[in-house]
Chains A and B, each alone.
Chain A
Amino acid sequence: KAGVTQTPRYLIKTRGQQVTLSCSPISGHRSVSWYQQTPGQGLQFLFEYFSETQRNKGNFPGRFSGRQFSNSRSEMNVSTLELGDSALYLCASSNLAGEQFFGPGTRLTVL
């Protein structure tokens, strides 16, 4: 079974731009969660989607948004990028037991 895939793997943007990241979950998984990982803050939960609905959201500003499509694929968007948004963005899909499996991540650098 193929794992979680994320595109792109690396991204360089400048302040003020926006970015869209994509995630395809493991086949059969309907829940997709997004996380931000930085050296200082560690892994922090952004939001979770199930059947195209956002069910849970972490403590991030409204510049961070996401959506899920009918095939369970998900995207997240960050608008008006700031230097502090430089991070590894991870997507995870969940099985029915609540176990989350992570994709390889997208490394975002904001200049």
Chain B
Amino acid sequence: QKEVEQNSGPLSVPEGAIASLNCTYSDRVSQSFFWYRQYSGKSPELIMSIYSNGDKEDGRFTAQLNKASQYVSLLIRDSQPSDSATYLCAVPSDSGGGADGLTFGKGTHLIIQP
């Protein structure tokens, strides 16, 4: 049974600062990692996917993956109040390369303070 761990927060960050969200996972063979954003009362929205070690940047978002440490993070630069949401980390449930549901962490509640 895979496990994905996230600090539930709330994580409070001033507007314009960098928000840093962290996630650890239990399975060393995981190959794909995903970050979702979920606003209250809405469904999760995919914001980043990362498959190899290192950094991946997309606009104000940067995902960082370290497979040796089983650690993936999400940085949000120039944080805006609209970034206030719960951020979910996910890895495929099945490492066998076939069909994959996702195992999700419980999410980090991020609050951007104006």
Tell me the A residues contacting B by CB distance below 8 Å: 31, 33, 35, 42-48, 50, 55-56, 58-59, 88, 90, 94, 97-105
Contact across chains for B32 and A98 when beta carbons are under 8 A apart? yes
* Total number of residue pairs linking A and B with CB closer than 8 Å: 62
Q: Which residues of A are found within 8 Å of B34, using beta-carbon distances?
A: 99-100
B27 at the A/B interface (Cβ < 8 Å)? no
Q: Which residues of B are found within 8 Å of A97, using beta-carbon distances?
A: 32, 49
Q: Which residues of A are found within 8 Å of B90, using beta-carbon distances?
A: 43
Tell me the B residues contacting A by CB distance below 8 Å: 1, 32, 34, 36, 42-46, 49, 88, 90, 92-94, 98-107
Q: Which residues of A are found within 8 Å of B32, using beta-carbon distances?
A: 97-98
CB<8 Å pairs between A and B, sample of 15: A31-B99, A35-B102, A42-B106, A43-B90, A43-B104, A44-B104, A47-B101, A88-B43, A90-B44, A94-B100, A98-B92, A99-B34, A99-B46, A101-B46, A102-B44
Contact across chains for B44 and A33 when beta carbons are under 8 A apart? no
A101–B44 Cα distance when bound, in Å, is: 8
Contact across chains for B107 and A42 when beta carbons are under 8 A apart? yes
Contact across chains for A56 and B45 when beta carbons are under 8 A apart? no
Contact of A55 with B98 at beta-carbon distance under 8 Å, contacts A97-B49, A99-B46 already known:
yes
Q: Which residues of A are found within 8 Å of B103, using beta-carbon distances?
A: 45
A73–B45 Cα distance when bound, in Å, is: 20
Contact of A33 with B102 at beta-carbon distance under 8 Å, contacts A97-B49, A100-B34 already known:
yes
CB distance from A96 to the nearest CB of B (A): 12
